[in-house]
Amino acid sequence: MYFKTEGVILARKNFGEADRILTIYTKDHGKISAIAKGVRRPRSKKTGHLELGNWCKVFVAKGKNIDLLTEAEVKRAFGIAEFAEKKANKIYHLLEIVDILTPHNQKNLRVFSLLVSFLKKTSKGEDFNLVSSAFKTKLLSTLGFFSSHNLKDSKAKNIFAILENDDFATLQGKINLTESSHLKLLAFLDSMIESIAGQKLKTARFLKQFNNLTI
């Protein structure tokens, strides 16, 4: 059985001599794993379409042990050569968060829409402190891990309610934190994500190193 969908490449690892196993967050099937045969060969037509952060149309054949990606076409390339390393690291940070927090094969259109929307904001160079805090809060809320209603501190509750519920254009005028306060907020969110996932965020370390200990 074949299916056609669109998705964002979250992660990849080499397999065998010329293949790659891809982790893709799809619009219609949630997070899936699929093998791309021969993609590491120089003449492979799929190579440029399957970079980290690419938003692609994909054709997948269901397999007994693992699905097979048969075709791919880029809709938008968020994480490849046109970006500086600094911007690419920010994009990879969002990809890693979605990867470690979401289960396989559980459709969640809201997660897919959030990911694509905030990858666009990151690629446009929006304030990443705000992009990151809004994305993490909205994602945690969408997945049922967080609600601002449960907070007791009135100031924190108000900030998180805005991040959780307002669209990005609206919250830009409402969130006015010092750099130090924003970093504390992000540290809190990262700690929550790591606790839920049971693992450290690798990309958070790279972001701090690249930005002289700031995100």
Domain span holding position 191: 85-210
Average pLDDT estimate for 118-129: 92
Average pLDDT estimate for 159-165: 94
- Both 13 and 105 in a single domain? no
**Is residue 143 over pLDDT 70?**
yes
What are the contacts of 188-191 at 24+ separation with CB within 8 A? 189/132, 189/133, 189/136, 189/137, 189/140, 190/136
**pTM to 2 decimal places:** 0.91
Average pLDDT estimate for 159-174: 92
The predicted structure's pLDDT at residue 215: 38
Asked if residue 192 belongs to a domain, the reply is: yes
Domain boundary among 60, 77, 94: 77
- Which CATH number goes with the domain that contains 48? 2.40.50.140
